[in-house]
Structure 1
Amino acid sequence: MLVDSHCHLDRLDLSAHGGSLDAALDAARAAGVGHFLCIGVSAENADAVKALAERYEDVDCSVGVHPLDLAADAEPALDWLLESLDHPRVVAIGETGLDYHYEPEAAELQQRAFRLHLQAAKVTAKPVIVHTREARADTLELLREAALTQAGVLHCFTEDWPMAKAALDMGFYISLSGIVTFRNADALRDVARKVPADRLLVETDAPYLAPVPHRGKANLPQYVREVAQFIAEVRGERFETLAEQTTTNFRRLFPLSRA
């Protein structure tokens, strides 16, 4: 069994499945995907991801505000976040973090919001899902500052081994997406080889970042199998071994999940 540890089921392009989310999930299940973590990115979609987790037994969700979904004149309130997290199907916080690639001018706002999510993680003891892009030093600094007692994950990891090692040293997991299959992703494949087996997750980040040979098309949860197969090959492991290990890792990281 595989777990798609990070997907946006409320944003999928379902044209390949006749507009049916049921059909898309069935296609993933047929590919060996037994569980899905549907990710919150804003206050506006929190109810949507909760509804999906309530509708499907093999779907859990997270709640949070993505750094690129922050309003310039506002930031999420801790009271709102804690209230939203108080739901039996919400197993994690996020995604949250820092993205200076698209909005370097919003660094201060992003840092305040990230700190707020990390504070909520301390209060609830739920794991945090971290998005980071071109913000290595600040991401690591804020994670060290938070000193969380529970693990979290750097999702859709695209940075280098030194950053991965620093996060691993703080107890975090590393999740790899279809980007690892891209032709120019040699540094990321190096990370894939080095991450300890018990700290690795796989994901699609669907509908974004479809793996080769689907690159350029809308991503779907069923493609997490291709991501996992590719990583297993890079690591010199059997696919079945990697699938079992990453599923075990998911259950350990997200103990409230129904996976």
Structure 2
Amino acid sequence: MLIDAHCHLDFAAFDQDRDAVIETAKRVGVEHFIVPGTTRQRWQQVLALGQRAEISVCAGLHPYFIADHRESDLTELDDLLNEHPEIVAVGECGIDARFGDTLPAQWDYFDAQCALAKQHALPVVVHCVKANDTVAKRLRQRGLASAGLIHAFAGSYEQAIKFVELGYVLGLGGAATYPRAKRLHRVIKALPDDSFVLETDSPDMPLSGYQGLRNEPCRVSEVCRVVAALRDQTSEHVAACSRANTLRMFRLFIRP
């Protein structure tokens, strides 16, 4: 059975057919979905989704939406984590170095969210774009015992191992399905079985062949097939590894 370890089912792109999207995913073997929060304004929608047995939720402040965040959101996030023990991680948080003008603020929010994760003994869900080395260094300094997920990993093998040695798992998604992603393919082939999870980032990050279309959690099954082929393993084995790693990282129990 499959788990989509990172999908934004709360986004407006799914408002018209969210239930149908979930059922379509279930028909191809997706049994569970991890939905991160991105802004304070969306936390309540995410928590509402978390009332469904097949969905687990996180709460955080995404660096892409930095203009929407306020310093007081960090206090509200702390309160939310105290009030909602069903939240399984802090995130999506992190650093997106494509936006250099907001990097100082990004680091402030990221550091603060790492501190909250440590305080609440929760893992973090990390968005990391063009910043693998600096983020790995910061996470090492922070020493988060619960580690977390490096979402949509696309770095080198050397960068991957830095995260793995710290206890983090790497999210493998649509990027893996592109024939020209040779560096990522080499990383995927070499990763230990206990170091990755499968994800879609729906509705974003479409797979090869689906460019321009809304991404959906059902396509985690296609990610699984590509990763299995790259690793010379069966899809069943890769799905089982991803499932076990997701359950371990987010401390979930799902009946087989």
Say yes or no: TM over 0.5.
yes
Structure 1 residue 257 displacement after superposition: 5.8
Candidates 113, 132, 142, aligned match of 1:146 = 142
Which residue does 1:65 correspond to in 2? Answer: 61
Which residue does 1:115 correspond to in 2? Answer: 111
Q: Does 1:89 align with 2:86?
A: yes
Structure 1 residue 79 displacement after superposition: 2.3
Which residue does 2:201 correspond to in 1? Answer: 205
Where does structure 2 lack aligned partners over 5 or more consecutive residues? none
| TM-score, normalisation: structure 2 | 0.94
**Following the alignment from structure 1 to structure 2, what is the Cα–Cα distance between the partners of residues 128 and 89?**
15
Whether the 8 Å CA contact 1:12–1:206 is kept in 2: the answer is no
* Structure 1 letter corresponding to 2:62: H
Whether the 8 Å CA contact 1:65–1:96 is kept in 2: the answer is yes
| TM-score, normalisation: structure 1 | 0.93
Gap change, CA 1:167 and 1:45, over 3 Å in 2: same
User: 1:110-139 deviations in whole A, cap 9, x for unaligned?
Assistant: 111110011011111111001111112321
User: 1:124-182 deviations in whole A, cap 9, x for unaligned?
Assistant: 11110011111123212211110111121101111111111111111111111111111
Candidates 215, 218, 221, aligned match of 1:222 = 218
**Following the alignment from structure 2 to structure 1, what is the Cα–Cα distance between the partners of residues 243 and 228?**
14
User: 1:166-220 deviations in whole A, cap 9, x for unaligned?
Assistant: 1111111111111111132111111111111011100000001121232321100
After superposition, the CA RMSD in angstroms is 1.7
Candidates 22, 30, 33, aligned match of 1:33 = 30
User: 1:66-101 deviations in whole A, cap 9, x for unaligned?
Assistant: 011123883354421111223133111101110011
Aligned residues: 254
**Following the alignment from structure 2 to structure 1, what is the Cα–Cα distance between the partners of residues 72 and 232?**
43
Where does structure 1 lack aligned partners over 5 or more consecutive residues? none
- Runs of 4+ aligned structure 1 residues displaced above 4 Å come to 256-259
Which residue does 1:10 correspond to in 2? Answer: 10
- How much identity, in percent, do the aligned residues show? 31
- Greater shift, 79-88 or 162-171, is seen at 79-88
